[in-house]
Structure 1
Amino acid sequence: MAWIVLVASGVLEAVWATALGRSEGLSRLVPTVVFAAALALSMGGLAFAMRTLPVGTAYAVWVGIGAVLTVTIGMVTGTETVSLVKVLLLGGIVACVVGLKLLH
């Protein structure tokens, strides 16, 4: 259960990071509300997962999922450039997250 919650929390990290970027310094209401809600849920899920998973592993997986999804959202929406090197590096992060799961 902790792994499922951790993955969901990583997804919510990408949601809050993207909403924060779109909030224009927390000055736009809807992105600011999405940011606050996703942040609270993401942190709560991370805290829940850390009850049973090692702190370092849980944090690395959470950050990895959030970072990869945030950049991917940016590439899909056109706010991030797409390059083969960037895609390969994101694949490396995914491989590391999978590796941490396999070792646990």
Structure 2
Amino acid sequence: MKTILGALAMLALTVPAAAQKPVPNPFSDRLARLKDIPRRAVLRRAILDSTLWCDRVEQDVRQGSFRNLSMWSARCGRGADYGIFIGADQSVQVRPCADLVKFKLPACRLPPRKR
């Protein structure tokens, strides 16, 4: 019996995060319903509140769920690209897209920058 439970536990741990059922996130859903300018202003405020720099958000993409967080990507005009993770409790974590691989987080899915 213990081996069956152990095997089931291991199987549950090996299920990829993408295959897990998304956690409801009403805050992220409300953010998605905003028009471009107000939504980008909220994302910029999240970036600035994380002591990162962004002159303005030019592009944003809602990428879906990662664990119990909703992930967004944002591209700043003359700055970096950021991954923004929003919790159902309205908590926010922002990381530069370039750092996400180091932390084993999903990559930002923004189109290449125009030169």
- TM norm structure 1: 0.23
Q: Which has the higher contact order (CA 8 A, sep 6+)?
A: 1
Larger radius of gyration: 2
Higher strand share: 2
